[in-house]
A and B are shown apart, each in its own frame.
Chain A
């Protein structure tokens, strides 16, 4: 009986220590650097920030990055959803190996990924030569950037859709079959709405990761202003040439994007259990709201 309070006190102490360590860690590694970045960027005041932001090459790099990252997210969302579906539902030979390989892009250093694409699509390779002969530029051009982004972010959608599909099991599909639904009806009415939270979450992750990609992009596409200079590459270039103000401004914009996406992502995760679209449908479709129901607390 005497051991118990002793044990509890030790536990409380460890909780305090661990808590302080984590808070200190977050402060030191995340909050302080962010604060310093904001402070340095606004070193020349609001007008300096504005000037840096409206600088044409900065604007171009941001537009290019967002466009290509969105394109990447769309492509990987479609490809990733189909891949996840196949990985879960179909008995493929060597499925385990295939499944393990999905994570490779996370493990490979991004510079190496970039180099791999460079040698594959470069003018000296067979594929790259053939494409070039047809006038399609891949390396040192936007398609190369998209390829690099797609490669690096490939696992996100698969890994966020896969567990939901596995969790879903076959019963809902069987139930739909017995109720008369055909293959496409089952997909659009049952499977897709169920995995939609995972798809959206994967889309967000892919988009934010693609926005930030540097290593592979700079390898494949280089640093050509007004052609292949993405935001991350622009930042690096500005630092190289000593313009902290420009680099900081674009960094802040990227940072704000990341925060918004992170926020949205968490929002999605919190809402995943019920699904916001469902509540919207329920609200719009059925008119009278049920008293005492939890819908009351779900105003969006």
Chain B
């Protein structure tokens, strides 16, 4: 079911503006992540779609039908709570059957449907356990089966993996992702974990202070962040606040051309993986000294200091990182950078070609926005 939200706002009784004037549209059959820091309004947004909170203003449409005035009972939604909210006094079977019993389905149908769901979520044989006797992962799967039992048209998940330990979390999210694809059910999940969002979402909505910062595919959000906040929240960045001098950023050796008024404030954002290190040579534009290297498994994180005390972090491959030590002198090449004006509007986004990276010249090739 497609979802459309128009100018939705939520002001709580204590005056807190959780969601402010948010509009977006999500497509049928997709898995969307609401990503953002806590207090960003993403859970409130989800609860408004479910009908658990009443919007202060604005409209919500599910499959073109306006639903914001409907109680949660009439929205045909499945909801998985952060702490699962299983009925403690009911066994697994009864938990999953709850929605069907409320609908007064006949018992043969209920038995069949619950058995089918138990098979789907891989909990066969645990029908009679009470929630207290299940592990966190099992509880989560019961919650999922319960939400799916009434064949909702939209599945909402509130931080579904937050309470599960790291190893299991990875498995579960891949599993949830497969289940969602298999059933083709439109889904939204809330998370503050960018990795999770990048990994399993078709589309990401980045929230900040009750507003949507960016909506896009994981690739769009990661590769073309529209604000410095998105750049910093989805992935890591080097961030510099500086001015414009003679048509360039005023960052000493980090001199990037910029089409902007002299003296205006700008923000320059460079991803650590877009900084590559080459052997030191006097010809290179940007020379640096290694301050510290940190082994992070797949790569090394290298903290560097540039000529005029500007610091920058680079992610370099293992093979290269292993030979680096503090006080080593190296040269840098910046493969990509983005500049934003002081209000956070995107100014320039520059990707340099592979050729340039390999060291021939450093003129910008692809320039966007």
Contact = CB atoms under 8 A, between A and B. Distances in A.
A275 interface: yes
Interface of A: 171-172, 174-182, 185, 189-190, 193-194, 196, 273-275, 278, 282, 286, 289-290, 293-295
Contacts of B135: none
Q: Which of A172, A182, A196 has the most chain B CB atoms inside 10 A of its CB? A: A172
B99 A274 contact: no
A182 B99 CA distance: 11
Going nearest first, the 7 A-B pairs with the smallest beta carbon separation are A171-B85, A179-B99, A175-B85, A193-B89, A178-B79, A177-B72, A180-B102
A183 to B, nearest CB: 10
Contacts of A174: 52, 72, 79, 81, 85
A293 B81 contact: no
Contacts of A295: 128
Contacts of A275: 89
Q: Which of A175, A176, A286 counts the most chain B CB atoms within 10 A? A: A175
B78 interface: yes
Contacts of A273: 132
B81 A290 contact: no
Contacts of B99: 179-180
Interface string B72-86: 110101110101011
Contacts of B149: 179
B102 A274 contact: no
A176 B98 contact: yes
Given A174-B81, A178-B50, A178-B72, A290 B98 contact: no
B333 interface: no
Contact of B146 (A171, A179, A181, A190): A179
A186 to B, nearest CB: 9
B91 interface: yes
Interface of B: 50-52, 71-73, 75, 77-79, 81, 83, 85-91, 93, 98-99, 101-103, 125-130, 132-133, 146-147, 149-150
Contacts of B133: 293-294
B83 A171 contact: yes
A174 B98 CA distance: 13
A178 B130 CA distance: 21
Nearest to B82: A171
A286 B93 contact: yes
Contacts of A175: 79, 81, 85-87, 146
Contact of B127 (A190, A274, A290, A294): A290
A174 B81 CA distance: 9
Given A172-B86, A178-B72, A179-B150, 6 more contacts: A175-B79, A178-B50, A178-B52, A181-B102, A286-B127, A290-B126
A250 B89 CA distance: 40
Contact of A289 (B93, B102, B128): B128
Nearest to B146: A179
Given A171-B83, A194-B88, A286-B93, A178 B77 contact: yes
A178 B73 contact: yes
Contacts of B126: 290
Contact of A180 (B50, B90, B103, B129): B103
Nearest to B149: A179
A177 B130 contact: no
Given A286-B93, A290-B128, A178 B78 contact: yes
5 contacts: A172-B86, A178-B77, A290-B128, A294-B133, A295-B128
A293 B132 contact: no
A273 to B, nearest CB: 6
Contacts of B87: 172, 175-176, 190, 193-194
B52 A293 contact: no
A280 to B, nearest CB: 12
A287 to B, nearest CB: 9
A275 B131 CA distance: 12
A179 B89 contact: no
Of B78, B90, B127, most buried by chain A (CB within 10 Å of CB) is B90
Contacts of B93: 286
Contacts of B90: 193, 278
B98 A179 contact: yes
A172 to B, nearest CB: 5
Contacts of A293: 128-129, 133
B31 to A, nearest CB: 19
Contacts of A190: 87
A126 to B, nearest CB: 43
Contacts of B79: 174-175, 178
Nearest to A193: B89
Contact of B130 (A171, A180, A194, A274): A274
A294 to B, nearest CB: 6
Nearest to A176: B98
A268 B309 CA distance: 70
A264 to B, nearest CB: 20
Contacts of B52: 174, 177-178
A226 B129 CA distance: 53
A282 B102 contact: no
A274 B99 CA distance: 22
Contacts of A176: 87, 98, 102
Contacts of B83: 171
Contacts of A294: 133
A286 B146 CA distance: 18
B148 to A, nearest CB: 11
A171 B81 contact: yes
B128 A286 contact: yes
Contacts of B101: 189
